[in-house]
Amino acid sequence: MGVTYFKRFRMEVSLTDPLFAIGQLPSDYRLVAWEDTDVAAHSEVKFRSFCYEIDANVFPCLGDREGCQRLMGEIARRESFVPQATWLLQYHGGGLGRSENCGTIQGIVDSSGMGSLQNVGVTPLHRGRGLGTHLMYQSLLGFREIGLQRAALEVTAQNLGAVRLYERLGFRRVKTVYKVAEVAYA
């Protein structure tokens, strides 16, 4: 094992300006509002979205199912948890009336009173269809609904696709931070 420092950007967006323009959610997908019983569903999608990604090195809990359950439980129990900014994405296009959970986003209010987006994730087969964008949009609307004026997130600098996505949605880098993590070297 060795210690590595991961460069991360804090990015912020105003919620008082109009949000970015967005099209229709593809017809096979549904956004599902938070219910207290949803910890397991969100945890499972979180795990499937993050287990092979860079953030599973930065936050090892994202690389295992139990870690994701623990993290999701902690998020949902926080006093600062924002149900209105927490959404599950379901795919209904598999036939036979089946549905599959394929995306998640959660919101909390951070210590400075900003909406803080936690762990947006879309499972690999469903990426590149605008679904991450829809999850972000819905979550930002939720923050607006409870009267927040700004939203923030942190993203690992190496996660180029995610950084590009957030910039496209109007987020701007405000700070660079370093997260220390233990990683296994091959």
Ligand X SMILES: CC(C)(COP(=O)(O)OP(=O)(O)OC[C@H]1O[C@@H](n2cnc3c(N)ncnc32)[C@H](O)[C@@H]1OP(=O)(O)O)[C@@H](O)C(=O)NCCC(=O)NCCS
Closest contact distance (angstroms) between CB of 76 and ligand X is 18
Closest contact distance (angstroms) between CB of 50 and ligand X is 5
Closest contact distance (angstroms) between CB of 81 and ligand X is 18
Q: Which is nearer to ligand X, 74 or 167 (CB)?
A: 167
> Do 57 and 5 form a contact (C-beta atoms < 8 A)?
no
Nearest to ligand X by Cβ — which residue?
132
Q: Do strands 2-14 and 115-122 pair parallel, antiparallel, or not at all (unpaired)? A: unpaired
Answer positive or negative: Cα dihedral of 134, 136, 139, 140. Answer: negative
Give the Cα separation of 49 and 116 in Å (integer): 19
Q: Which is nearer to ligand X, 48 or 76 (CB)?
A: 48
Closest contact distance (angstroms) between CB of 95 and ligand X is 22
Q: Which is nearer to ligand X, 25 or 109 (CB)?
A: 25
Residues lying near ligand X in the complex (CB under 6 A): 49-50, 53, 55, 120-122, 127-133, 155, 159, 161-162, 164-165, 168
Give the Cα separation of 113 and 102 in Å (integer): 29
Closest contact distance (angstroms) between CB of 91 and ligand X is 12
Q: Which is nearer to ligand X, 16 or 121 (CB)?
A: 121
Q: Which is nearer to ligand X, 148 or 153 (CB)?
A: 153
